[in-house]
């Protein structure tokens, strides 16, 4: 692709591109490996049980517990990339969600919406910065439309996916016949 279609690669910069790709891949692999080890340690130490005890000591209301789980995932997504956040949060929070009666498929939708929104939410907003860099826009130009989109698109979608299970389960039910 780089040689024939985009014509950006040639014999001189090909080796440098391969080395940069290898370094980037190595960094990502080490990061994911570390997150997976940390996630495994959390499970071995029964962190999901401890979190559930803590949350139920605050309230027994499943609606409020789901709200707290959403806030936790938004904060994680604001601070981490989405792959690391999924690998870290899912093993910890999935047992909690199942105890609350949330389907694993619905929980996957909740995680996806949470992390998607968190990745465009300041202060870190990695996807917002990437989009600005690719589109040639400054962050201050993108902030108002982004906050508008978060308030009127992402948050209502998150609330709907979290509290209306049929919304996130209708397509899997239709295609797979899963209940």
Same domain as 101, residue 32: no
Residue 124 predicted with pLDDT over 80: no
Q: Which residues of 56-67 are buried (b: 16+ CB within 10 A; e: fewer)?
A: eeeeeebeebbe
Same domain as 103, residue 68: yes
CB 159 within 8 A of CB 150: no
CB 162 within 8 A of CB 70: yes
Residue 104 predicted with pLDDT over 90: yes
Task: Name the burial class of residue 155, with classes exposed (0-12), middle (13-18) and buried (19+) by CB atoms within 10 angstroms of its CB.
Answer: middle
Q: Where among 15, 30, 45 does a domain terminate?
A: 45
Same domain as 131, residue 168: yes
Nearest to 76 by CA among 100, 93, 55, 56: 93
pLDDT, tens digit, 9 for 90 and up, residues 1-22: 778 887 788 888 888 888 988 9
pLDDT, tens digit, 9 for 90 and up, residues 154-164: 999 999 999 99
**Residue 178: predicted pLDDT:** 67
Same domain as 166, residue 112: yes
What's the mean pLDDT when you consider all of the chain?
87
What is the extent of the structural domain holding 93? 48-176
Same domain as 140, residue 65: yes
Residue 179 predicted with pLDDT over 80: no
Q: Where among 10, 25, 45 does a domain terminate?
A: 45
Max avg pLDDT among 108-112, 117-121, 128-132: 108-112
Same domain as 126, residue 64: yes
Please tell me the total count of domains within the chain.
2
Same domain as 55, residue 16: no
Same domain as 132, residue 143: yes
Residue 47 predicted with pLDDT over 90: no
Structure tokens at 162: 């979290």
Tokens 């980037």, residue?
24
**Residue 2: predicted pLDDT:** 77
Mean pLDDT calculated for residue range 33-58: 85
């Amino acid at each position: 692709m780089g040689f024939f279609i985009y014509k950006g690669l040639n014999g001189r910069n090909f080796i440098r591109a391969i080395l940069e790709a290898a370094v980037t891949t190595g960094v990502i692999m080490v990061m994911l490996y570390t997150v997976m080890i940390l996630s495994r340690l959390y499970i071995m130490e029964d962190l999901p049980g401890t979190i559930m005890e803590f949350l139920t000591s605050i309230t027994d209301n499943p609606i409020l517990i789901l709200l707290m789980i959403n806030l936790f995932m938004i904060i994680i997504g604001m601070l981490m990339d989405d792959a690391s956040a999924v690998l870290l949060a899912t093993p910890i929070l999935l047992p909690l969600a199942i105890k609350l009666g949330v389907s694993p498929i619905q929980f996957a939708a909740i995680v996806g919406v949470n992390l998607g929104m968190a990745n465009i939410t300041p202060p870190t907003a990695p996807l917002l910065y990437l989009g600005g860099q690719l589109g040639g826009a400054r962050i201050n130009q993108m902030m108002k439309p982004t906050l508008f989109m978060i308030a009127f698109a992402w948050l209502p979608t998150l609330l709907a996916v979290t509290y209306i299970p049929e919304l996130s389960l209708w397509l899997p039910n239709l295609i797979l016949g899963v209940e």
